[in-house]
Structures are given as structure tokens and as C-alpha cells.
């Protein structure tokens, strides 16, 4: 990956948030993409792992959607509508999973379903529904 100004590692203030947020999850807040430090470092290395590239692809979907809708509108909908939130995540996971599948790799769908049905995504969906939808890609 070329080091681009809008992709940043989660350092500094991010460290004050719960560890799972600063070290295990990425966030797009248009026009920036924030990545866990290990994933960021891997992506700027000469031979990044496919899993890291897949995370970036996931965030790039959010980036494009936020750009399209406008960050304010997107953020409000993301916070108030669990349906919108789940749909946005499905769009992003679709790209991530499709990319990994082409390389014969998989994503831990149980873990993703667990996270989607937790506080991390403001309980946007049940575990069962999340797993069912993720398995469709
Ligand atoms: Zn996402």
C-alpha cells in the first residue's frame, strides 16, 4: 500500500478507548480511515497480509458510502438506525469476504457475527441473523 495521508494508525488518543476498539477494529470517519497499528504497519510493509488488505477494503466501502451520502447524514443514520447500520456493515463485509474467498481464505464469521450483535455495533442485529447474512457471501 502506498502511504496515503488519509489512512492512519490508531495511536495517540485511540489508546484511551477500550483495547478491543484501539487494537482490534478499524474505523472510517470520512475522509480518514483509522486502522489498528499492527494492520497499518503490515499494510505499509513490502508484503502485506491478505487479511490486512481485506480490512482496508472493508473500510474503503464505508469511505465511499460516507462520501456518497455525506459524513453527517451517514453518521446520523448509522447511529439511529440499526437496519442502516447492519446494511452498511454487510456491504463492507461483502467486499472483505469476496476478496478473501478469491484467495481461498476465510473470515471468522462467528466472531464477526458476535461483534455485530454486541455493543461494538450498538447491538444492530441478533447473532443468528448476522451469521446467516454473512454466510451468504
Ligand atoms: Zn465496518
Distance 45 CA to ligand 1 centre (A): 23
What is the whole-number distance in angstroms between the Cα of residue 79 and the centre of ligand 1? 13
Q: What is the pLDDT of residue 1?
A: 65
Distance CA 60, CA 33 (A): 8
Neighbour tally for 55: CB within 10 Å:
23
Better-scored residue on pLDDT, 124 or 21? 124
Residue 7 pairs in a beta bridge with 33
Mean pLDDT for all residues in the chain: 94
Q: How far is the CA of 91 from the centre of ligand 1 (A)?
A: 8
pLDDT reported for residue 2: 63
How far, in Å, CA of 99 to CA of 21, rounded?
Answer: 24
Ligand 1 centroid to Cα of residue 81, in Å, is: 15
Q: What is the pTM of this model?
A: 0.93
Determine the Cα–Cα distance for residues 136 and 126; give it in Å rounded to an integer.
16
Distance CA 14, CA 22 (A): 6
Question: How remote is the CA of residue 47 from the centroid of ligand 1, in Å?
Answer: 24
pLDDT of residue 3: 64
What confidence tens digit (pLDDT) does each residue in 28-87 have? Answer: 999 999 999 999 999 999 999 999 999 999 999 999 999 999 999 999 999 999 999 999
What pLDDT, on the 0 to 100 scale, is given for residue 13? 87
The Å distance, Cα 80 to ligand 1 centre, comes to: 16
* 16 DSSP 8-state letter: G
**What does the pLDDT read at residue 24?**
86
Cβ 99 vs Cβ 57: under 8 Å: yes
pLDDT at 4 over 80: no
Query: Quick check: 37 and 47 in contact, CB under 8 A?
Result: no
Give the Å distance between the CA of 46 and the centre of ligand 1: 25
What local confidence, expressed as pLDDT, does residue 37 receive?
Answer: 94
CA of residue 61 to ligand 1 center, whole Å: 8
Amino acid at each position: 500500500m502506498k502511504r496515503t495521508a488519509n489512512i492512519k494508525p490508531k495511536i495517540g488518543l485511540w489508546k484511551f478507548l477500550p483495547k478491543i476498539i484501539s487494537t482490534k477494529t478499524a474505523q472510517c470517519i470520512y475522509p480518514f480511515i483509522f486502522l489498528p497499528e499492527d494492520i497499518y504497519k503490515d499494510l505499509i510493509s513490502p508484503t502485506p497480509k491478505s487479511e490486512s488488505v481485506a480490512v482496508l477494503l472493508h473500510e474503503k466501502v464505508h469511505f465511499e458510502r460516507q462520501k456518497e451520502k455525506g459524513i453527517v447524514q451517514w453518521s446520523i443514520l448509522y447511529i439511529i438506525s440499526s437496519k442502516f447500520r447492519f446494511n452498511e456493515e454487510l456491504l463492507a463485509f461483502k467486499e472483505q469476504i469476496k476478496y478473501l474467498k478469491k484467495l481461498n481464505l476465510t473470515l471468522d464469521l462467528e466472531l464477526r457475527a458476535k461483534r455485530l450483535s454486541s455493543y461494538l455495533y450498538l447491538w444492530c442485529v441478533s447473532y443468528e441473523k448476522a451469521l446467516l447474512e454473512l454466510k451468504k457471501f
